[in-house]
Amino acid sequence: MGSTGPRLPQFRRFGTRLLLLIAGLVAAAQCADYLFVRRANRANALERINESLRQGTLLFTKRVDARLDELSGRAALMSDDYSIRQLFLKEQPDPATVRSALQSYSVRMGVPFMALLSPDGQRIGDTGGALPGAALKPFQDLVKVAETVDDPKAKGFARLPPDGAGGKLYALLVVPIYAPKPEIVAWIGLALPIDHTFATELKSDAQLEVTFYYGRGADMQPVESTLQEGAAKSSAPPSVTEGIMTVGVGGESYVTAYRPLLPLITPGSASIALQRSLEAELAPSRQLERFLLILFLASLAAAALIAPVFALNLSNPLRALARHTEVIAGGDYTSRLRLDRVDEIGQLATAFNRMSEGLAERDRVRDLLDKNVSPEVAAQLLRDGGALGGEEREVTVLFVDLRSFTRLSESMPPREVLTLLNRYFDRMSGIVEIYRGIVDKYIGDAIMALFGAPVEQPGHADNAILAALEMKSALARLNAELTTEGRAKLSFGIGINTARIIAGNIGSSRRLNYSVVGDGVNVAARLQDLTRMSQFKADILVSASTLRAARGRYRVRDLGAAPVRGRDEPVEVFSIEGTE
């Protein structure tokens, strides 16, 4: 504990890993998608708002200028009016007449306040009303400006009255009265209110919230606003005189463009704030984002559902393969894996099945070899891959054949014949193997055995002779058993010959048998035949070549030369009586 470092989580189930992988990938892709769209939407909304704020600012300037230009035009018409000149024909115009005349003009022009100033800026008269005489100061300041320019007029923003509470924002304009042009005999001052109506109209045209601020120094207060009064008051006053920033208004984010009202004639500072709610602008995008979120969750759910199915689809056959491997390991080559698919897993299953078949085949072959050939031949066959090349070598061939067995078998049921024969073969074959020989084949009731092939062995002749003697003893024991069982005795003859013969796989390409061919084989068979000759009175006959090859000492009876079928020369025959 504690010694292991951090390691990646290990999953016992492939499905869990696949689920996490797919769900993770889907989540990452969708999450990135969602975040990107959200970010892009926000950037777009901000850009749109910024653009409309720029347009709104331009629109405000244009509206003020257009209104003042229109008023300027009307004032020019007024200044050319005959009746206004009548006022100036008097040495001292009557103040009440001037006021009522100006009131008429202000109604005609649609402005709440008008003033008439002498060329040097002294008050001749005004409309009075809401604005006291102190309000003239900003107009006098504008006259000073107008005097200096080619087209003698001037405009600017002002709070009227400049001092005290309750001041309102106005755009002011002074234009000259000519009598005639270019002689300026007086100035007309006009005040265009920047009031709630103005703000509302601007809002309806620009689709922006409009707030006007006025203040001395840093203490800016909203004086007009299209926002709820509380919201305008709660909205942070402009911390900059000009620029675009996002401010909180009543819990919402408003992108706000501040622009100072310039020139401002009265002391202090004034600015317009144009605003649009970021939330409202983002509302259409939010719908898309909600849709994306639903899509995100849906695809995550789909991934969570599909991944296990997919994982099972992969892990089930893998588990089946694992189980199948266990079955094969247990030695069962007969069962087959049934996977109904053509992909790599299907191919793997097919390969597994082929492997099972291959193993079963090999097993069967080995089994057959074990049963049908001697273990040495089987081992050599398996070792050399069944392609035993022919080779010439010296071997001792032994033939042992039951005498009168055909006659015996006719008096017995076939099953008993076979049982008896196998019992006899079992004993004899065992002895062959004990003496390192192999049973080459069974020919009816005869056995052909080889000594010195396929594995070379120095004492093959001795082994054959000893095996023959042992067989004789074994037959005696078997006969004792058979007598006890009440059956007839068996007798056999053995022929042994040592010769150079050809050993190897003999047969067609489909069926091969390891065997030996050559004249020496025939000689052994003929010697066995000779045991039937009554004059020899011998059960074991060997050739001279066998005796020459043998190193052991045996009791031998020389039977002289005997003619052998298939050979021109007679063969020297010896009877083996026993060992010395």
Provide the binding-site residues for other proteins, judged by CB under 8 A: 80, 82, 85, 88-91, 150, 179-183, 185
Contacting residues for 77 by C-beta, under 8 A, at least 6 apart: none
Contacting residues for 371 by C-beta, under 8 A, at least 6 apart: none
Residue closer to other proteins (CB basis): 67 or 74: 74
Residue closer to other proteins (CB basis): 122 or 422: 122
Closest CA to 266 of 112, 114, 161: 161
Nearest-approach distance from CB 76 to other proteins, in angstroms: 10
Residue closer to other proteins (CB basis): 72 or 522: 72
Contact 395, 377 (CB under 8 A): no
**What separation in angstroms does the CA of 498 have from each of 64, 196, 392, 450?**
137, 137, 13, 10
Nearest-approach distance from CB 87 to other proteins, in angstroms: 9
165: number of Cβ within 10 Å? 5
Give dist(CA 289, CA 283) in Å, integer: 10
Q: State whether residue 201 is helix, strand or coil.
A: helix
Give dist(CA 310, CA 18) in Å, integer: 8
Give dist(CA 38, CA 57) in Å, integer: 28
Q: Please tell me what DSSP assigns to residue 326.
A: H
Nearest-approach distance from CB 99 to other proteins, in angstroms: 19
Residue closer to other proteins (CB basis): 33 or 80: 80
Contacting residues for 300 by C-beta, under 8 A, at least 6 apart: 23, 26, 27, 30
Residue closer to other proteins (CB basis): 91 or 410: 91
Nearest-approach distance from CB 106 to other proteins, in angstroms: 22
Say what angle helices 95-109 and 14-79 make with each other, to 10 degrees: 140
Residue closer to other proteins (CB basis): 88 or 310: 88
Residue closer to other proteins (CB basis): 93 or 268: 93
Residue closer to other proteins (CB basis): 82 or 340: 82
Nearest-approach distance from CB 156 to other proteins, in angstroms: 23
Nearest-approach distance from CB 183 to other proteins, in angstroms: 4
Residues in a beta bridge with 272: 212, 259
Nearest-approach distance from CB 80 to other proteins, in angstroms: 6
Structure tokens, 486: 């009440």
* Phi, psi values for residue 254, rounded to 5°: -115, 130
Nearest-approach distance from CB 152 to other proteins, in angstroms: 9
Nearest-approach distance from CB 265 to other proteins, in angstroms: 25
Nearest-approach distance from CB 124 to other proteins, in angstroms: 12
Contacting residues for 517 by C-beta, under 8 A, at least 6 apart: 501, 502, 506
Give dist(CA 577, CA 558) in Å, integer: 11
Nearest-approach distance from CB 101 to other proteins, in angstroms: 15
Structure tokens, 453: 């092939």
Closest CA to 559 of 544, 543, 575: 575
Residue closer to other proteins (CB basis): 177 or 337: 177
Q: State whether residue 242 is helix, strand or coil.
A: coil
Residue closer to other proteins (CB basis): 89 or 342: 89
CA dihedral 218, 212, 226, 288 (to 10 degrees): -70
Nearest-approach distance from CB 122 to other proteins, in angstroms: 14
Sheet arrangement for strand 154-160:
123-126, 113-117, 184-193, 168-178, 154-160
Residue closer to other proteins (CB basis): 175 or 501: 175
Which runs of consecutive H residues, i.e. helices, occur in 330-459? 344-372, 375-384, 405-410, 414-434
Residue closer to other proteins (CB basis): 14 or 88: 88
